Amino acid sequence: MLTSNREKFTTIMNNKLHVWLDEKPHSVESHTAQCTLFFKDRQIWGPVGCHANTEQLKEAIEKADHRFALTVEPRSKSIEGHTRYISVKSHGKVLLDKLSTHNNM
């Protein structure tokens, strides 16, 4: 789904979905959920630790392209560092702007 370019990358699927990362100052945040990304009911990424605010990413991706589904489930707390922001755009409209995340998204 996404390339391995860790500085900034883009994916475009049927001109519906544009996802990219931007650098951000390092922060340490706790993860209390686990997320898994599906495309047409097939798992394509995860499961990985995430935050309750990942619901914002879920809503943006699913609004942009209904073929994607992101599950967010509770899990035990862990502490991890973030060095990137993730953003989502669809049909020229930004649906998610700079949600704190990891460089491996």
- How many alpha carbons fall within 13 Å on the CB side of residue 59? 10
Give 90's pLDDT tier (boundaries 50, 70, 90).
confident
- How many alpha carbons fall within 13 Å on the CB side of residue 44? 13
- pLDDT at position 1 is 41
Contact criterion met (CB below 8 Å) for 90 and 17: yes
Q: State pLDDT tens for residues 56-71.
A: 989 999 999 999 999 9
Q: What is the pTM of this model?
A: 0.70
